[in-house]
Structure 1
Amino acid sequence: MPQPTDARQLVKGFGRGIGGALLFAMPLLMTMEVWRLGLAVDRYRVAALTVGTVLLVIGLARNLGGSGRSGWRASLVDAGVAFLAAALAAAVILTTLDVLDWLRDWRDAVSILLLAMLPAAVGASYARAQLGEGSAFPSKSGYGHELSLMVAGAVVFAANVAPTEEIVLLAATMTPWHTLVLVALSLALMHAFVYGVGFGGEEEYEGPVQSFATFTIVGYALALCVAAYLLWTLGRFEDIGLLMVVTESVVLALPASLGAAAARLIL
């Protein structure tokens, strides 16, 4: 039986989760391609994305906390509250905008909602853990911990632009040389965030070579994987060649890599 203080903290945390979900996912909620893709994407792809979202939120709850308690049970509760807050926030906004029509076809409404849940759930988890009164940065550290935060940052930045047609259009006009230069530019920008330009949270104990090898290159590889997975989920790889698959992934990896680097510094 929860105590009154615990209940108030739960309500406050739920409210922070709604706010964080809206802050992180509002660009996606207002993007027309999401509404259309929600009706066209295969349901098994949506289901796979939802499973990935749940696992990511559980991992964030484990790393960032939220309720102030430790352990897997607390992490699952934190993840559940964050997921529910994100679902409620996204559903209210999309229903109010007349994007979701639950009476006409609830299955289509659920598909659209689940596509928008990825950045919303990450935002809810972050807000619950880090934006409350007296919130502190997580004491947990380590290489795996930082890589998981980079994945979360890549997801938020990439998910907000992955559904747009611009990714496909940009990839269609780029030559292989443009692709190689974009990879180099993404690595350079990411490394500038991680090491060398004076952002708060940079690692001071690592040299530039070690930092480039262990965080920049690995982080970019994770961002590229996130980009490719999101594009596959949205059906962007249907009936195209391998070169176009790689190019689209590299284009989306630009914002994903910046999100990964920023998340490592902020979180």
Structure 2
Amino acid sequence: MMKGHNRHTSPTSARTAFKKEIRDSIRGAASGFLFGIPLLYTMEVWWIGSYAEPLPMLIALFTNFVVVFLLIRTEGFRGTVDTTMRDTSIDSIQTLAIGFVCTALTLVLLRQIDLNTSINEAVGKIIYESVPFTLGVAVADSFLSGDRSRDTNTPKSSSSQSKTAEINATLADVGATSIGALFIAFTIAPTQEVPMLASAMTPPWLLATIAASLLISYGIVFVAGLTNQAKRYQQTGLFHRPITETFIAYIVSLLSGLLMLWFFHQLSFEDPWTVWLSHAIVLGLPASIGGAAGRIVV
């Protein structure tokens, strides 16, 4: 009877475990993007990865694994700290895998890895660029996990108070998005990476970059289970729906990025609108990630 009962409940238990695994992986990827996206816009790291020899790459990979192993052993990749060396090793390998996949996909999107890239160059870029990604994944739970025990119920208020609250909430979200976007864009906009990447972007790749920006920022705020996620679902004002918030926040991030590009003389009013658009979309990827980070901490 006990064996039959276990067989009957196993599919449900397996589905629950699978959902938790997916949630942990998404949270880790979101944290990885928050930590790693600025380095992906650094051409010096592209060059280091392009010309790295196998031995330095193995040393870098081993060093990264050791650091990730120690972080997971101390902080825990998931909701609980691993208690055995085997569990820590498995989670360390999974952390590296998440970092490698996110890094590789972003480098493909930025046209730094394509079909003409050699295997050695691609592997070198992924290994060196993935270091902050994997560190972000390793500390995802301890650093960014939300407090799910928090009481998110709010008292009822009058119509005028509700209207004022909606306006204040909208302004707070716009401000938080702008601050987060400017924080990231400020470090990238003065560099030559943005015009270099924008010049290589064709319309299909620009559309793919927009889609990736929206998807990643949506995942950070509404899927990954990061700080204040439950509160985000109860938000009022223009940002009260996840899809609406994601699109409006992306527009705010684009404008913030354009402001930084103009501020650092990367764009001028004599440039055609297509140049402004391509530069904005390229910088909009890290800016939207910064904007998402700004909203989850308010």
TM-score by length of 2: 0.43
The TM-score normalised by the length of structure 1 is 0.47
Larger Rg: 2
